[in-house]
Structure 1
Amino acid sequence: MKKNIPILSMIFFSLCFFSCNPEQEEVDLIVHNAVIYTVDEGFSILQAFAVKDNRFIEIGSDRSILSKYKSEETIDMDGRSIYPGFIDAHSHFYRYGLGLGIADLLGTESEEELVERVKDHADKNPDLTWILGQGWDQNLWESKEFPAKEKLDSLFPNTPVLLTRIDGHAALANQKALDLGKVTATTTLTGGKVILRDKQPTGVLIDNAIKLVSTHIPAWSIEESRNALIAAQENCFEVGLTSVVDAGLEKETIDLIEKMHQEGSLKMRVYAMVNPTEENMEHFFTTGPVQNDFLTVRSFKIYGDGALGSRGAALLKPYHDHAGNYGFLLKNPADFDALAKRIYDNGFQMNTHCIGDSANRTLLDIYAKYLKGKNDLRWRIEHAQVVSNEDMSKFAAYSIIPSVQPTHATSDMYWAGQRLGAMRIKTAYAYKDLLDQNGMLALGSDFPVEHINPLYGFHAAVVRKDANNLPENGFQSENKITRLQALKGMTIWAAYANFEEHLKGSIEPEKLADFVVLEKDIMLCPEIDLRNVKVFATYIGGEKVY
């Protein structure tokens, strides 16, 4: 029995020390018995942390945190893994929320199914003044051909219909909608196209042509906009997102987001890229950038070209499956240059959607003109989807950040080679090559174009496979990135790309206490399990929101 006295004494001492220590500091939350991937500079893996006033105040071992702090809310995580709150570096958060209330066309396998879903939606909502839908992709259909408006004309002769393709760069309109937009067979415009068949509009509009119709859609009410933001937030919290970059917002929407933040009804942190209208530029160039714990506004979202799926991406050589078609830029190069100058002169970030190799070259060269060399202005190329070998080094030369969406590669891989051909496809979705330029990538999803779950993007980046874990060896596996790199891409590198690395992106003292708890450890679990890992809990500022 005497041999057990020292052990009993140690237990007694420990209990007294942890529970009775008068020097313990009161905090709002203590988390312990966890595997915490801090994503700090040394990529430390620790066990516990303390939170006070919405921020981490210390991260360390169980013993060090439990001995120094006390809290009414102390959580034993039972060995679960914890990560900084996930950041989606390129999404359409507000548009996603609005889309939850319109016809869902994702995954339709034929034009007939598309029409049937629209009819079901209209039957359930008989008072609609416009019938809207989004998510169709003709590349999933056996025909691979764009749809046409005849069946919609028959079903809805007096109600305008506009159905947006999954990428947002093409749409199908019925005749009533075309009439409102004054779209005819002779309509021409810069950066857009009206698709004809037998010299008559089919109803398919590409890029800027969509605006001829969409500008006639009645504005969403404040209540509808509020509901959309709340619904989007709830779904994002469920998958571990604590911050989103919303790529392309109007001032009115940004004002609403800020008001909801102040009220406390919206807790999602938002990095807003502003649409470059004259009114928006005049306002933000006058007031300057905005940054607080919940909202950052210091960039403009520019569209360089369209999408590969609708053959609107601007290519240096014609589409492999459509002779003579190079796609197109959405503005003249001189207009892009003028925008770059204004954005540069006013100290904002320029973030440009570039899919095709021609668009990437055009915008990289314009960026180079103003950035001049290494810098800390953090201008971004959004998507950087097809980049010629000759242009890749420009990212490094001018400190340009590639903002990419890994699930685009695994969604597009079944048809992208048809668009680009065997040689040029090798210069597409080249995430490892892009990472090597400046040692970082900002990772996002582009939702609702892709699913909102950031772990789908993590899986696609690391293994280059789709939801069925195909192809067996991965798509262009030479451009895989590591798990560590993928985690940084959706945390600290995404924060850096937003000028927010001092606020978020890692679990460190004085940073906002945003973190996600997973049921499995994505840094260690088998690759085949990555897409199916579930979120156990999501916290913003130390508050459990899921």
Structure 2
Amino acid sequence: MKKNLLVALALCLGGVAQAATLVHNVNGYTLNGSELEQFVALEFDDGKVTRLYREAEAALASRAGERIDGKGATLLPGLIDAHGHVSSWGRALATVDLIGSASEGDAAGRVAAYLAEHPDTDWVQGRGWNQVLWPGKDFPGRAALDAVAPDQAVVLARVDGHAIWVNSRALALAGISAATPDPDGGQILRDADGEPTGVLIDNAMNLVYGVMPADGVAEFAALQHTALEDLARYGLTAVHDAGISAREAAAYQQLRAEGRLPIRVYAMLDVTDPGNDRYLEQGPLVDPAHQLDIRSVKIVSDGALGSRGAALFADYSDDPGNRGLLLQTREELANNMHRAVAAGYQVNTHAIGDRANALVLDLYETLNSDPDSAALRHRVEHAQILRPEDIARFPALNVIASVQPTHATSDMNMAGDRLGAERLRGAYAWESLLESGAHMAGGSDFPVEAANPFFGLYSAITRQDHAGQPPGGWLPQQKMSRKAALELFTRGAAYAAHQEQVLGQLQPGYFADFILIDGDYFALPEAALWQIPVRATYVAGKRVFPAAGAGPT
């Protein structure tokens, strides 16, 4: 009897080994805790890593039934974007792209070109304009859009998503006139006669959004699926979706049920959407396979620096009398935080200006006097402009700094104008946060920035744009090492989602989420880092890019 059991056990173990997959002939890197490890082959079975091989000779002895030749590629843990907007990325892929537009006229011309291809459109949407890059740096006006779209409503989001540029048709449909007051936490820009110019900032945007046709669950599911498939080609194996509506949550659940989530999603509920109250009542939704976790909320405290909506303690250096916008009162912020914590949800609060960051940290300090709240690992999304004395509060309060490195290199052309030299000491201070001992996570804030995580890695390491400017980097004392930057988009992001025991590194028992890239991330010249091509992306051992049927890597 004992002999038969041993034979059965041997057959069982042999079957498991034969079912495993070996990825060999690779230059592999992974974090093991805070240490960087190298390997030449990785074995996985049933979606999880079973072994790393440090030597090629040892890998030859693997009994894996399937072998993938990495052809000398570098293998890294799958990259995680800790702050993006998935539905908006899907929409950006299908609407007017204003990224890089050189002027107001150029942007309006792109609207005209879109309408020539989509003449039956009633609402023209787009995003990506940035007046800071235009001659004169002035905000645009409705007249340029009226000239190309007199009959359709046009709604174009600024690159940061904190302002929209609309035409007269959209203003009329929203009932916005010279008599319309600014809403709390918002601003209607006006001309010398008091008439709306066509630019609406922060909460004023809701006046137009409230009259636009609403997407249903099916429409959101289509946007999400398109976006997630696109994100996989950049080497992303997971994304934290920052602020989803109840319909978006339902769309994700539909995709999960249909087995159509190509990469992992960690969702933050928009706490201001009444439809999400039912999710708060149910409590956190944690997927055993971590394909879709819904266990956090997103709260927005202030606006953005580019539209002068970030809440500052002192006036904007280039706009005396303006200190930005708090989008919720202290009492409203506190109430939203408390009701989320009471439901067991992590709280992730957008804060860009120094006044907003200090306020959010004050509220977190109160929340985290309760150990159960502290265990939820609350986050500050952006943590962009900090007073130096507030940097040390992140580790002291057990608060995660969720940062987007490309914001520094995108904003360097105007941050000094907005803030002045003294406030830059605590601005975009990623290395200072790291040295403080704070937990950190890295993301992009797509579609505000490009979704390619190698852009973020490059920005964190060099503090330069893609042309290598400025020489030596902007605020170079805040440069990060290559290992620290990689950790932002792997272990750090996994920790920020309560997933550090199964994601963020490649060790036995962890999910086999990995990417194959051309070039050695740790050896390439810095200037080449943002250009690294991704050969293949795997989630739980399944290749999701190139898509099935697309041929070998």
With the length of structure 1 as denominator, give the TM-score of the two structures: 0.93
Unaligned runs of 5+ in 1: 1-20
Give the CA deviation at 1:322: 0.4
Higher mean C-alpha deviation, range 126-135 or range 369-378: 369-378
Partner Cα distance (2:14, 2:475) in 1: 59
Structure-2 change in CA distance of 1:544 and 1:24 (3 Å): closer
Give the CA deviation at 1:153: 2.5
Question: Is residue 323 from structure 1 mapped to residue 320 from structure 2 by the alignment?
Answer: yes
Question: Is residue 212 from structure 1 mapped to residue 207 from structure 2 by the alignment?
Answer: yes
Give the CA deviation at 1:74: 0.3
Unaligned runs of 5+ in 2: 1-12, 546-553
Higher mean C-alpha deviation, range 328-337 or range 149-158: 149-158
Question: Is residue 39 from structure 1 mapped to residue 31 from structure 2 by the alignment?
Answer: yes
Structure-2 change in CA distance of 1:180 and 1:347 (3 Å): same
Give the CA deviation at 1:544: 1.5
Partner Cα distance (2:127, 2:266) in 1: 24
Partner Cα distance (1:282, 1:115) in 2: 40
Question: Is residue 135 from structure 1 mapped to residue 134 from structure 2 by the alignment?
Answer: no
Partner Cα distance (1:296, 1:331) in 2: 27
Give the CA deviation at 1:373: 8.2
- Residue type of the alignment partner of 2:485: A
- Residue type of the alignment partner of 1:511: Y
- 1:273–1:301 Cα contact (<8 Å) kept: yes
Matches within 5 A, 1:255-294: 255-277=250-272, 279-292=274-287, 293=289, 294=291
Aligned to 1:146: 139
Aligned to 1:533: 532
Question: Is residue 70 from structure 1 mapped to residue 64 from structure 2 by the alignment?
Answer: yes
**What SS does the corresponding residue of 1:324 show, helix, strand or coil?**
coil
- Residue type of the alignment partner of 2:539: I
Matches within 5 A, 1:23-422: 25-41=17-33, 42-61=35-54, 62-71=56-65, 73-186=66-179, 187-198=181-192, 199-277=194-272, 279-292=274-287, 293=289, 294-372=291-369, 375-422=374-421
Query: For 1:241-275, what per-residue CA distance to the aligned partner results, in whole angstroms no more than 9, with x for missing partners?
Result: 01011101112212221221232222111010101
Partner Cα distance (1:360, 1:226) in 2: 33
Query: For 1:146-194, what per-residue CA distance to the aligned partner results, in whole angstroms no more than 9, with x for missing partners?
Result: 0000132243333211111011000011122112222222322111000
Partner Cα distance (1:22, 1:338) in 2: 57
Partner Cα distance (1:154, 1:331) in 2: 36
Partner Cα distance (2:146, 2:168) in 1: 6
- 1:463–1:480 Cα contact (<8 Å) kept: yes
Aligned length: 525
Structure-2 change in CA distance of 1:437 and 1:112 (3 Å): same
Give the CA deviation at 1:505: 0.6
Partner Cα distance (2:276, 2:214) in 1: 21
Query: For 1:414-436, what per-residue CA distance to the aligned partner results, in whole angstroms no more than 9, with x for missing partners?
Result: 11100001111222100011112
Structure-2 change in CA distance of 1:532 and 1:155 (3 Å): closer
**What SS does the corresponding residue of 2:257 show, helix, strand or coil?**
helix
- 2:351–2:384 Cα contact (<8 Å) kept: yes
Question: Is residue 426 from structure 1 mapped to residue 425 from structure 2 by the alignment?
Answer: yes
Give the CA deviation at 1:216: 1.3
Structure-2 change in CA distance of 1:420 and 1:22 (3 Å): closer
Give the CA deviation at 1:223: 4.8
Give the CA deviation at 1:342: 1.1
- 1:27–1:50 Cα contact (<8 Å) kept: no
**What SS does the corresponding residue of 1:325 show, helix, strand or coil?**
coil
Query: For 1:36-59, what per-residue CA distance to the aligned partner results, in whole angstroms no more than 9, with x for missing partners?
Result: 212122322122221111111222
Query: For 1:491-540, what per-residue CA distance to the aligned partner results, in whole angstroms no more than 9, with x for missing partners?
Result: 01100001111221111112211101111111121111111111111111
Structure-2 change in CA distance of 1:76 and 1:336 (3 Å): same
**What SS does the corresponding residue of 1:30 show, helix, strand or coil?**
strand
Partner Cα distance (1:298, 1:280) in 2: 16
Question: Is residue 486 from structure 1 mapped to residue 454 from structure 2 by the alignment?
Answer: no
**What SS does the corresponding residue of 1:26 show, helix, strand or coil?**
helix
Give the CA deviation at 1:444: 0.3
Partner Cα distance (2:334, 2:224) in 1: 34
Partner Cα distance (1:398, 1:221) in 2: 40
Give the CA deviation at 1:281: 4.3
**What SS does the corresponding residue of 1:43 show, helix, strand or coil?**
strand
Aligned to 2:550: none
Give the CA deviation at 1:69: 2.2
- Residue type of the alignment partner of 2:17: E
- 1:24–1:69 Cα contact (<8 Å) kept: no
Partner Cα distance (1:422, 1:51) in 2: 51
Query: For 1:200-231, what per-residue CA distance to the aligned partner results, in whole angstroms no more than 9, with x for missing partners?
Result: 11010000000110121112355543332232
Partner Cα distance (2:313, 2:63) in 1: 61
- Residue type of the alignment partner of 1:497: A
- 1:440–1:489 Cα contact (<8 Å) kept: no
- 1:88–1:454 Cα contact (<8 Å) kept: yes
Aligned to 2:3: none
Partner Cα distance (1:545, 1:95) in 2: 21
- 2:232–2:262 Cα contact (<8 Å) kept: no
Partner Cα distance (1:388, 1:173) in 2: 35
- Residue type of the alignment partner of 1:309: G
- 1:81–1:517 Cα contact (<8 Å) kept: yes
**What SS does the corresponding residue of 2:32 show, helix, strand or coil?**
coil
Moved over 4 A (4+): 21-24
RMSD of aligned Cα (Å): 1.7
Partner Cα distance (1:160, 1:22) in 2: 65
Aligned to 1:13: none
Structure-2 change in CA distance of 1:154 and 1:38 (3 Å): closer
Structure-2 change in CA distance of 1:221 and 1:298 (3 Å): closer
- Residue type of the alignment partner of 2:326: L
- 1:516–1:535 Cα contact (<8 Å) kept: yes
Partner Cα distance (2:345, 2:222) in 1: 30
**What SS does the corresponding residue of 1:537 show, helix, strand or coil?**
strand
Percentage of matched positions with identical amino acids:
39
Structure-2 change in CA distance of 1:376 and 1:66 (3 Å): farther
- Residue type of the alignment partner of 1:301: K
**What SS does the corresponding residue of 2:31 show, helix, strand or coil?**
coil
Partner Cα distance (1:429, 1:391) in 2: 13
Give the CA deviation at 1:278: 5.5
Give the CA deviation at 1:23: 9.0
**What SS does the corresponding residue of 2:136 show, helix, strand or coil?**
coil
Query: For 1:117-143, what per-residue CA distance to the aligned partner results, in whole angstroms no more than 9, with x for missing partners?
Result: 111111110111111111100000011
With the length of structure 2 as denominator, give the TM-score of the two structures: 0.92
Query: For 1:323-361, what per-residue CA distance to the aligned partner results, in whole angstroms no more than 9, with x for missing partners?
Result: 110011001111111112112222211101111001001
**What SS does the corresponding residue of 1:209 show, helix, strand or coil?**
helix
Higher mean C-alpha deviation, range 361-370 or range 151-160: 151-160
- Residue type of the alignment partner of 1:424: R
**What SS does the corresponding residue of 2:227 show, helix, strand or coil?**
helix
Partner Cα distance (2:273, 2:320) in 1: 37
- Residue type of the alignment partner of 2:63: Y
